[in-house]
Structure formats: C-alpha cells, structure tokens
Amino acid sequence: MERFINIQHVIAAQMTTPEDNPLVSDTTRMMDVWFGGEVVRKQLFKKVSKVEQEAFVATLRERGFVQSGNLLVDPSAILFAEMEHQMVGGVITIGFGDNNRPVELKVKGQAFTELAAKLQNS
C-alpha cells in the first residue's frame, strides 16, 4: 500500500510507539494526524513504518512544530491556550471540528511554555 500525506496541511500529529501501545511493533506504527482548514479533521493512519514515522516527525520539527511527548503541534494553528499548572501542562485549541466544537489537545508544561514563547515572538 502506498500513501501520501500532504504535510503542508498537517497542524498536529500524535505518534504511537511500542512503548505507548503493545499492539504496535517496531516495524508497524500508528499516527493520528489533524488537518487544518475551515474545519479541523482527524485521520488515523495504520501500518506506518518506523522509518515513515521518524521521517514525518523530522519534517514537522523542521517546520517549527513543538513536541510534547509523542504529540507535535504547529504553533501557528493555535487559537487559544490555557495553562492548567506548570507541572501538568495545559490545553490548546487548534480549531473547530465538523460539529463546531473546539478541537482541544493536552500538552505538557514545557511544551506549553515553548508554544507560548513562539506565539509571543511571531
């Protein structure tokens, strides 16, 4: 199976590794990807190889995405962010889904601080 993801439309991605899920192997991984636009859509891609996943992460980091554990987020996609606690992290809103509800993701404290710094400097 061959697939192509237009990485220019990706606003967030969650990588699943063997440490996160025992059903994932070192050769077969999973990724959840959120795409931006008028509405934010989430897509689950199964059977992603380790090499594909690592290349995807490297490309997102080159584009300026901030990493929080296995979650990568484009700072420019953030509409609203609220810190819960420095040790816990916070919640970011990256847009609205088909149901007009906010699409919210949790990020760790260090990532929240990095995202806030990037937003203040843009």
Q: How many CB atoms lie within 10 A of CB 84?
A: 12
Summarised one tens digit per residue, pLDDT across range 39-53 is: 999 987 767 888 988
Q: What is the mean pLDDT of the segment spanning 22-47?
A: 86
Which pTM value belongs to this model? 0.88
Report d(CA 117, CA 122) in Å as an integer. Answer: 9
101 in Cβ contact with 61 (< 8 Å): no
Which pLDDT band holds residue 104 (cuts at 50, 70, 90)?
very high
pLDDT for the residue 92: 93
What DSSP string describes 2-32? -----GGGEEEEEEE-TTT-TT--SSEEEEE
Question: What per-residue confidence (pLDDT) applies to 83?
Answer: 84
Q: What is the pLDDT of residue 30?
A: 87
- Mean per-residue pLDDT of the chain: 88
Domain topology for 7-120: OB fold (Dihydrolipoamide Acetyltransferase, E2P) (2.40.50)
Inter-residue contact 40 to 66 (CB < 8 Å): no
Confidence of residue 63 (pLDDT cuts 50, 70, 90): very high
Please check the confidence at residue 1 and state whether its pLDDT lies above 60: no
What are the sequence ranges of the domains in the chain?
7-120
